[in-house]
């Protein structure tokens, strides 16, 4: 099976920080969890993979990628207009875009709020709206930065269900998260970053039960800052 996203020899610096990723591949239907303490380079890696940042060395290749930051911006328009916005930018006629957006809002549990202003949504609803808008433009790869960080368990569970569905449809998903339980629930593979370096890459069963690097073990035990 060919990867939907491939990176090789990535190097990016800012200030004294240096991120190095020798090789990274994401496959169709795979959820890859990126773990590491704050400041380890998770967000920088996602931005490099998305194309929002250009690496100083190395390259990234793959199909259409969509990046969702931790606090995705919403337009001061209705929920429906927000959901349809990406489709309209791609030239989809208004009627078709609104019909597709309406169906997606039902799927993410926001159908009843389609006509209300988006800024009135709760934090969890706003994340689901941003995810709906992203899924509508049919990216091959989703790159998500802590999408459930500020959500209650019910909203987090809804977002996780959407990510499982996206993977089930053949999309690649790269998820940066501080939630170790979430990584265990969702991930098919884990990459652990520390101080800009890839310390370990493994299936969740191996990483969480028998980490191979002492820094991984220290991280899992809450001893690595």
pLDDT band at residue 208 using 50, 70 and 90 as cut-offs: very high
pTM of the model: 0.92
In CATH, 5-73+138-220 is 3.30.365.10:
no
CATH code 3.40.50.300 region(s) in the chain: 5-73+138-220
Q: Is 78 helix (H, G, I), strand (E, B) or coil?
A: strand
Nearest Cα to Cα of residue 34 among 197, 192, 143, 181 = 192
**Residue 72: its pLDDT value, please?**
84
CA-based R_g, the chain, Å: 18
* Pairing between β-strand 141-145 and β-strand 172-176 as defined by DSSP bridges: parallel
- pLDDT given at position 59: 96
The model's confidence at residue 218, banded by pLDDT at 50, 70 and 90, is very high
119, 170 contact by CB (below 8 A): no
Do the beta carbons of residue 221 and residue 69 sit within 8 Å? Answer: no
């Amino acid at each position: 099976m060919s990867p939907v996203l491939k990176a090789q020899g990535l190097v990016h610096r800012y200030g004294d920080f240096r991120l190095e990723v020798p090789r990274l591949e994401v496959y169709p239907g795979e959820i890859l969890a990126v773990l590491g303490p704050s400041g380890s380079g998770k967000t920088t890696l996602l931005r490099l993979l998305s194309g929002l940042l250009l690496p100083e060395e190395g390259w990234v290749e793959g199909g259409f990628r969509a990046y969702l930051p931790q606090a995705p911006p919403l337009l001061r328009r209705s929920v429906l207009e927000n959901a349809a916005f990406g489709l309209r930018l791609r030239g989809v006629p208004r009627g078709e875009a609104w019909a597709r957006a309406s169906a997606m809002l039902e799927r993410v549990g926001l159908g009843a709020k389609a006509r209300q202003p988006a800024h009135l949504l709760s934090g969890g609803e706003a994340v689901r709206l941003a995810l709906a808008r992203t899924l509508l433009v049919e990216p091959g790869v989703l790159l998500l930065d802590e999408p459930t960080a500020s959500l209650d368990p019910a909203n987090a569970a809804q977002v996780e269900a959407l990510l499982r569905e996206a993977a089930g449809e053949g999309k690649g998903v790269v998820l940066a998260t501080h939630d170790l339980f979430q990584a265990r629930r969702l991930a098919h593979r884990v990459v652990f970053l520390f101080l800009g370096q890839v310390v370990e890459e493994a299936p969740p069963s191996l990483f969480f039960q028998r980490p191979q690097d002492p820094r991984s073990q220290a991280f899992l035990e809450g001893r690595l800052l």
